[in-house]
């Protein structure tokens, strides 16, 4: 009789503990888990426990056996704060699959916002609000996201990537601004340090940068709020009179200083080019109709290049 009583008490305690393990939510950190084809339930359960996505691997295994649940292979982004049955349901239904989003180099915040709205359904207004002072620091890259991403998730991925990529570079705000200009000016990675060298030479003598992309940025900034941003075409080619008539501090034809902030979000190659520009005596550059970069030391030489390669 005593043994029966002990057994009942023990079984009841085990049942309560088992239910606790199943129902207790984990921390609120979203983590990725990859379930390979042919991977055993035990291996998956141990991986989930090691990542803190479930309380107990053996509790999950018992639950899967009792419910006769099979796990599906896939690449999952599982939210934190879930119970073990909720995690099991995700792996059973193959939901919360990792999705990918690519942000190209040289886009401004508004372009990123429109792309995220088109691809992921995220709010343009919310993204612009939450990244208001982050132009230049939304690092262009390919990101893994949950299948129900939020603006906060995407913005954090981009800014975390920026911090990781630049943490050892001692990057200044002025360098970041100049890197954003080089990003829009350069046609390839080889040319970036050469163009950065031209701008460095100009800045040394207080010469205006006279960069077309800065005028394009200012012109778009002046115009797009009055338009439908979803259909607005950014970085339009300048037309006659734009350089003179586009008002604002980003116009480097009318202002000698650097713009007050980055004009886009540059990639690492443009940042490195600004930090290590090629040392030379050139003060001007153009891209010819053949797509090649032509440098010049004097204005006369520059005008000769214009007549020769842009006519």
Least confident of 90-104, 176-190, 247-261, 277-291: 90-104
Q: What rounded mean pLDDT belongs to the chain?
A: 93
Q: 203-220: per-residue pLDDT in tens? A: 999 999 999 999 999 999
Most confident of 18-22, 73-77, 78-82, 169-173: 169-173
Give, in degrees to the nearest 5, the angle at Cα 71 between 69 and 76.
135
Question: What is the pLDDT confidence band of residue 10, given thresholds at 50, 70 and 90?
Answer: low
Residue 8's pLDDT is 64
Question: Above pLDDT 70, what percent of the chain?
Answer: 95
Residue 68's pLDDT is 94
| DSSP H helical ranges for the chain | 2-23, 41-50, 57-67, 84-93, 109-120, 124-130, 151-166, 173-185, 192-204, 212-223, 242-245, 268-275, 299-309
| DSSP H helical ranges for 68-211 | 84-93, 109-120, 124-130, 151-166, 173-185, 192-204
Residue 9: pLDDT over 60: no
| Strand pairing class (293-296; 284-287) | antiparallel
Least confident of 29-38, 174-183, 216-225: 29-38
Spell out the domains of the chain, with CATH numbers in brackets: 25-93 (3.30.1490.480), 173-309 (no CATH)
Question: What is the pLDDT confidence band of residue 31, given thresholds at 50, 70 and 90?
Answer: confident
Which residues pair with residue 296 across a beta bridge? 284
Residue 311's pLDDT is 79
**Which contiguous run of DSSP H or E holds residue 284?**
strand 284-287
30 vs 302: CA distance, rounded Å: 55
Residue 25: pLDDT over 90: no
Q: 11-20: per-residue pLDDT in tens? A: 566 677 778 8
Q: 124-139: per-residue pLDDT in tens? A: 999 999 999 999 999 9
Range 78-94 average pLDDT: 92
Higher per-residue confidence, 278 vs 21:
278
Burial class (CB in 10 A: 0-12, 13-18, 19+), 240: exposed
Residue 13's pLDDT is 64
pTM confidence score: 0.83
Residue 303's pLDDT is 96
């Amino acid at each position: 009789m005593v043994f029966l009583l002990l057994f009942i008490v023990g079984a009841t305690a085990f049942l309560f503990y088992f239910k606790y393990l199943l129902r207790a939510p984990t921390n609120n950190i979203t983590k990725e888990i990859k379930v390979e084809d042919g991977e055993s339930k035990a291996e998956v359960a141990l991986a989930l426990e090691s990542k803190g996505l479930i309380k107990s691997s053996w509790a999950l295994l018992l639950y899967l056996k009792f419910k006769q649940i099979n796990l599906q292979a896939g690449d999952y982004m599982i939210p934190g704060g879930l119970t073990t049955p909720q995690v099991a349901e995700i792996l059973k239904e193959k939901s919360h699959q990792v999705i990918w989003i690519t942000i190209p180099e040289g886009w401004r915040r508004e372009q990123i916002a429109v792309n995220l709205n088109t691809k992921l359904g995220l709010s343009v207004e919310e993204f612009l609000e939450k990244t208001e002072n982050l132009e230049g620091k939304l690092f262009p890259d390919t990101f893994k996201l949950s299948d129900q991403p939020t603006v906060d998730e995407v913005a954090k991925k981009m800014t975390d990537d920026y911090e990781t990529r630049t943490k050892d570079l001692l990057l200044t705000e002025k360098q970041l601004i100049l890197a954003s200009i080089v990003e829009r000016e350069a046609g390839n990675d080889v040319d970036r340090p050469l163009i950065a060298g031209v701008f460095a030479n100009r800045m040394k003598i207080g010469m205006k940068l006279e960069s077309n992309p800065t005028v394009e940025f200012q012109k778009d900034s002046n115009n797009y709020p009055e338009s439908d941003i979803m259909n607005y075409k950014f970085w339009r080619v300048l037309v006659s009179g734009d350089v003179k008539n586009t008002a604002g501090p980003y116009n480097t034809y009318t202002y000698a200083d650097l713009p007050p902030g980055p004009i886009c979000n540059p990639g690492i190659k443009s940042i490195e080019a600004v930090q290590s520009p090629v040392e030379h005596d050139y003060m001007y550059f153009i891209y010819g109709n053949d797509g090649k970069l032509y440098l010049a030391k004097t204005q006369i030489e520059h005008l000769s290049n214009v007549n020769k390669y842009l006519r």
